[in-house]
Amino acid sequence: MRRPIIAANWKMNMNPGDTTEFLKSFLSLIPGKCPVDVVVAPPFVSLPAAADILKGNINVRLAAQNMSDHDAGAFTGEISAMMLKELYVSHVILGHSERRTLFGERDAFINSKLAKAFESNLKPIFCIGETLAEREGGKVEKVLERQIRKGFKGIEAKQVGETIVAYEPVWAIGTGVTATTEQAQEAHAYCRSVIADLYDMETAAKVRIQYGGSVKPTNMAELISMKDIDGALVGGASLDYRSFYEIVKEGIEQVSSS
Ligand code: PGA
């Protein structure tokens, strides 16, 4: 079994004060060594507050929600990988559908960010997923294949194996509509088959694929029980520490029952 990875994507929520409060309460709920990887992704300005609390913690890692594909220079408003690393950041969310649709990020741009993340030793959480129109138009596989092929262009198998892919159907994000476990499992298995095709079976078997889109404490158990679902990327339900902990707990239970 791949080690589950459950990540909180706080989007543009949680200022530094909220972040400190959340993490203090959340950490107190996790006793000992957690058998699943837990990651939190606060907005940039809250990263120092999170780093202060998480430094030295063995259970919770820190992610950024985005990153520049450049090292330094005249890129107003951008944040580099090295800046993130100074703040104890180990993971970075790349290609989130909100970045793709609201901020015009394209596959090639996301590919260059992925390359930069690997070069900088940051672990990418690489988001992919189809829109409702694409699903209704029967284009799910075509879209996922394109996003994976273009996203991983030029990336070596070893790095791909360490990537966390987040399958997030755009129609399920923030809508309260979750993909059925069957729809999610089917998409995850398909993504894995594309990776096997592009690289090899061994690499595909290593990649952890998270599901994202209205994950809640009530649907996590079923999702995480599926063969190709290795965790979750959680938006809305991660803003409350108790609810995020309930989701993490389902991951822990899945590990102990398997
Ligand atoms: P949601 O967001 O859980 O609020 O649907 C998930 C995401 O966008 O990563």
One-character DSSP codes across 186-244: HHHHHHHHHHHHHS-HHHHHH-EEEEESS--HHHHHHHHTSTT--EEEESGGGSSHHHH
Percent of the chain with pLDDT over 70: 100
Using CA atoms, how far apart are residues 161 and 32, in angstroms rounded to an integer?
Answer: 28
Mean pLDDT of the chain: 96
Instruction: Count CA atoms within 13 Å of residue 196 on its CB side.
Output: 11
Alpha carbons 235 and 239: distance in angstroms, whole number = 7
193 contacts: CB under 8 Å, gap ≥ 6:
204
Q: What is the structure's pLDDT at 32? A: 87
Q: Is the dihedral of CA 185, 197, 65, 132 positive or negative?
A: negative
| Average pLDDT of the segment spanning 59-65 | 98
| For range 138-142, the mean pLDDT | 97
Select from 65, 92, 168 the residue to mutate for testing ligand 1; criterion: most ligand atoms less than 8 Å from CB. 168
Q: What angle do CA 192, 122, 72 make, to 5 degrees?
A: 130
SS3 per residue for 206-218: HCEEEEECCCCHH
Write out residues with Cβ below 6 Å of ligand 1.
9, 168, 173-174, 212-215, 233-237
What is the pLDDT confidence band of residue 226, given thresholds at 50, 70 and 90?
very high
For residue 129, give the nearest of 159, 89, 99, 160 by alpha carbon. 99
Q: Which pLDDT does position 134 carry in this prediction?
A: 95
Domains of the chain: 5-257 (3.20.20.70)
Q: pLDDT (tens digit, 9 = 90+) per residue, 150-201?
A: 999 999 999 999 999 999 999 998 888 888 999 999 999 999 999 999 999 9
Distance 54 CA to ligand 1 centre (A): 23
Question: Which amino acid does the sequence have at 136?
Answer: E
Cα separations in angstroms, 216 against 165, 200, 236, 253: 19, 33, 8, 15
pLDDT at 252 over 90: yes
Nearest CA owner, ligand 1 atom 3 = 235
pTM of structure: 0.97
Distances (CA, A) of 40 to 62, 66, 97, 214: 5, 13, 18, 17
User: Best mutation site among 66, 99, 127, 214 for ligand 1, i.e. most ligand atoms within 8 A of its Cβ?
Assistant: 214
pLDDT value at 231 more than 90: yes
Helix/strand/coil for 60: strand
Query: Residue 31: is its pLDDT beyond 80?
Result: no
pLDDT band at residue 258 using 50, 70 and 90 as cut-offs:
confident
- Residue ranges of alpha helices (H) inside the chain are 16-29, 47-54, 81-86, 97-102, 107-119, 132-136, 140-151, 157-162, 181-198, 201-206, 217-224, 241-257
Does the structure show a pLDDT above 80 at 86?
yes
